[in-house]
């Protein structure tokens, strides 16, 4: 049997002129498909506000995506039609002007084109002497300039803030250990690490600590005040107690904009405490760190530049296509020592491809990395830094405006102070029974989503179910907010009857 199959394979290869490839036989067909794709997406984006924000995926469509792997080729026209009919109608919604769920950015047309160009170049930015790595280094320098961070700091572009947080905390773990933790592991530690964060820290911090082998039991959650900001007096007292009990305070994680409410921890005061007790200071600035670039908010972000490491995203409040996050580390030597590993096949040369000096793989866990930085380079050059300042400020003003509409209504109630661009509120169905309020506000949320009016999420604040609007959307207009509030009131009053 084996010789038979070998003969068939040889005959197949011979029929195809001896070699096969994934490139098209007809490049004009691909050119036509490219033009069709660009036309489709421009038409789609330019009329996006006419679509529903989100709609459920029909069972028939879900079933279609359980089919077996295709064995034979399909024409690109068939695949394109398949995309139009079965994929494009059911997006997550975050490109729509009335998407305010979670904290997701919107992307831009030029960003999509930059992604096409980057994908075509298909560069691996793990290292090597090629231009994509110099583009990434420039974006890191621009990021330091934006946040007024130490010019000598190192940095790394990541998939997002979750990976950026993991990277920063990995450096913290290695710096704060009393041995060579890379070789000897956590079992060689004579004392327990402790990580401190407020009760509002993001779940990625817990995942990072678990992944790093420290264990989530060693995260101490510090209570927050009525503005959901970390209680720094409690923080310092807890650190003192832990030191007295023989524990090692490893890191304090501060929030530059909590995911629940947008609250900003007292960054400067936390910096003073970490410096006093010689503890690593990490800031999770996923979206809120970028408020630093708005002159009116520079004061409340004072202390951001004092961190040992800071993680943030460009695909959130810089509206770039997914995915692109960033980690900046003040001590570049500590950063590199945490990850550097140069096997023989990656040895450095004085000339040629391997002569590049700043291999990204020495600053993170990935060797295979896409050309994420090109879209950032394109978009920052296209719009200029000042336009990002204006857009971020615009989103904050829109959140404030939403707050005024809520306060003006005796049927709505704000559940948290509006620190930045996040508004948490609810429809008041009962002045006494929170269970009724919780249940019916959940129904309001689901109806708004299912009718395609808007998409926002929810959270729990002080044991109350809150409707949560997070505006990181360059397409949002004040009229979108007016429409959504009127619909919330309409649905709420219908449920109240």
Could you tell me if residue 91 is inside a domain?
no
Least confident of 8-12, 98-102, 162-166, 398-402: 8-12
Does pLDDT of 4 surpass 90?
no
Q: What angle do CA 15, 21, 22 make, to 5 degrees?
A: 130
Question: Mean pLDDT for the chain?
Answer: 95
Least confident of 13-27, 283-297, 335-349: 13-27
What pLDDT does 17 receive? 60
Could you tell me if residue 88 is inside a domain?
no
Q: Which residue has the tokens 């330091």?
A: 144
Q: Are residues 132 and 4 in the same domain?
A: no
Say whether 251 sits in a helix, a strand or coil: strand
Say whether 367 sits in a helix, a strand or coil: coil
Residue that finishes a domain, picked among 370, 387, 407: 370
Q: Are residues 127 and 21 in the same domain?
A: no
What pLDDT does 372 receive? 98
| pLDDT mean over 243-248 | 94
Q: Kindly state the greatest CA–CA separation across the chain.
A: 83
Q: Which of the four pLDDT bands, split at 50, 70 and 90, describes residue 435?
A: very high
Q: CB of 424 within 8 A of CB of 261?
A: yes
How many helices and strands in the chain, by DSSP H and E?
16, 12
Could you tell me if residue 320 is inside a domain?
yes
What pLDDT does 16 receive? 55
Could you tell me if residue 417 is inside a domain?
no
Domain encompassing residue 22:
1-45
Does pLDDT of 411 surpass 70?
yes
The per-residue b/e assignment along 137-159, b for 16 or more CB within 10 angstroms, e otherwise, is eebbebbbebbebbeebbbbbbb
What pLDDT does 130 receive? 97
Does pLDDT of 9 surpass 80?
no
**Dist CA 284 CA 267 (whole Å):** 11
Could you tell me if residue 473 is inside a domain?
no
Burial of 457 (0-12, 13-18, 19+ CB in 10 A): middle
Total domains present in the chain: 2
DSSP percent split of the chain into helix, strand, coil, nearest 5: 50, 15, 40
Q: Are residues 15 and 140 in the same domain?
A: no
Could you tell me if residue 84 is inside a domain?
no
Residue 128 CB coordination number (10 Å): 18
**Dist CA 170 CA 153 (whole Å):** 16
Q: Give percent of the chain with pLDDT exceeding 70.
A: 96
Closest CA to 402 of 428, 427, 426, 423: 423
Residue that finishes a domain, picked among 322, 355, 370: 370
Q: What angle do CA 163, 164, 166 make, to 5 degrees?
A: 65
| pLDDT mean over 219-241 | 98
Q: Are residues 366 and 218 in the same domain?
A: yes
Could you tell me if residue 189 is inside a domain?
yes
Check which CATH number belongs to the domain holding 296 and give it: 3.40.640.10
Q: Are residues 161 and 36 in the same domain?
A: no
- Taken in order 101, 285, 264, 390, is the CA torsion positive or negative? negative
Does pLDDT of 468 surpass 80?
yes
**Dist CA 197 CA 272 (whole Å):** 15
Q: Which residues does 61 contact at the CB level (< 8 Å), separation at least 6? A: 86, 90
What are the beta bridge partners of residue 465?
460
Closest CA to 423 of 401, 440, 442: 401
Q: Are residues 41 and 128 in the same domain?
A: no
Q: Are residues 217 and 321 in the same domain?
A: yes
Q: Are residues 172 and 302 in the same domain?
A: yes
Residue that finishes a domain, picked among 370, 388, 403: 370
Could you tell me if residue 55 is inside a domain?
no
């Amino acid at each position: 049997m084996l010789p038979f199959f070998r003969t068939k394979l040889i005959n197949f290869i011979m029929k195809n002129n001896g070699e096969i490839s994934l490139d098209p036989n007809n490049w004009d067909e691909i050119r036509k498909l490219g033009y069709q794709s660009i036309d489709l997406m421009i038409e789609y984006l330019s009329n996006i506000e006419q679509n529903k924000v989100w709609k459920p995926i029909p069972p028939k469509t879900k079933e279609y995506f359980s089919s077996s792997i295709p064995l034979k080729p399909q024409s690109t026209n068939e695949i394109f039609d398949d995309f139009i009919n079965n994929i494009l109608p059911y997006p997550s919604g975050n490109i729509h002007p009335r998407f305010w769920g979670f904290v997701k950015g919107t992307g831009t047309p030029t960003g999509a084109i930059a992604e096409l160009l980057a994908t075509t170049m298909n560069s691996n930015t793990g290292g090597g002497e090629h231009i994509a790595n110099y583009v990434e280094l420039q974006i890191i320098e621009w990021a330091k300039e934006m946040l007024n961070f130490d010019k000598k700091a190192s940095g790394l572009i990541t998939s997002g803030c979750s990976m950026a947080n993991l990277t920063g905390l990995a450096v913290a773990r290695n710096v704060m250990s009393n041995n060579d933790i890379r070789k000897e592991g956590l079992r060689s530690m004579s004392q327990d690490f402790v990580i401190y964060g407020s009760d509002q820290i993001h779940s990625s911090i817990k995942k990072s600590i678990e992944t790093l082998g420290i264990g989530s039991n060693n995260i101490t959650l510090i209570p927050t005040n009525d503005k959901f900001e970390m209680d720094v007096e409690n923080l310092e007292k807890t650190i003192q107690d832990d030191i007295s009990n023989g524990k090692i305070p490893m890191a304090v994680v501060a929030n530059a904009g909590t995911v629940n409410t947008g609250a900003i921890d007292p960054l400067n005061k936390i910096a003073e405490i970490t410096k006093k007790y010689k503890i690593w200071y990490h800031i999770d600035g996923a979206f809120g760190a970028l408020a630093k670039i708005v002159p009116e908010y520079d004061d409340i972000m004072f202390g951001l530049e004092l961190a040992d490491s800071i993680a943030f995203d460009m695909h959130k409040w810089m509206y770039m296509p997914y995915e692109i996050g960033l980690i900046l580390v003040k001590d570049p030597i500590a950063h590199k020592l945490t990850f550097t590993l140069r096997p023989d096949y990656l040895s450095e040369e004085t000339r040629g491809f391997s002569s590049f000096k700043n291999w990204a793989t020495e600053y993170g866990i990935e060797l295979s990395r896409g050309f994420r930085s090109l879209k950032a380079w394109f978009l920052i050059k296209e719009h200029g830094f000042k336009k990002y300042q204006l857009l971020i400020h615009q989103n904050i003003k829109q959140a404030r405006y939403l707050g005024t509409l809520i306060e003006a209504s005796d049927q709505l109630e704000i559940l948290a102070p509006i620190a930045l661009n996040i508004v948490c509120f609810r429809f008041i169905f009962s002045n006494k029974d929170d269970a009724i309020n919780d249940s019916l506000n959940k129904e309001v949320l689901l109806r708004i989503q299912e009718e395609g009016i808007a998409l926002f999420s929810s959270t729990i604040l002080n044991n109350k179910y809150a409707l949560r609007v997070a505006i990181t959307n360059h397409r949002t207009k004040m009229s979108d907010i007016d429409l959504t509030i009127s619909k919330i009131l309409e649905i709420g009053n219908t449920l109240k009857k």
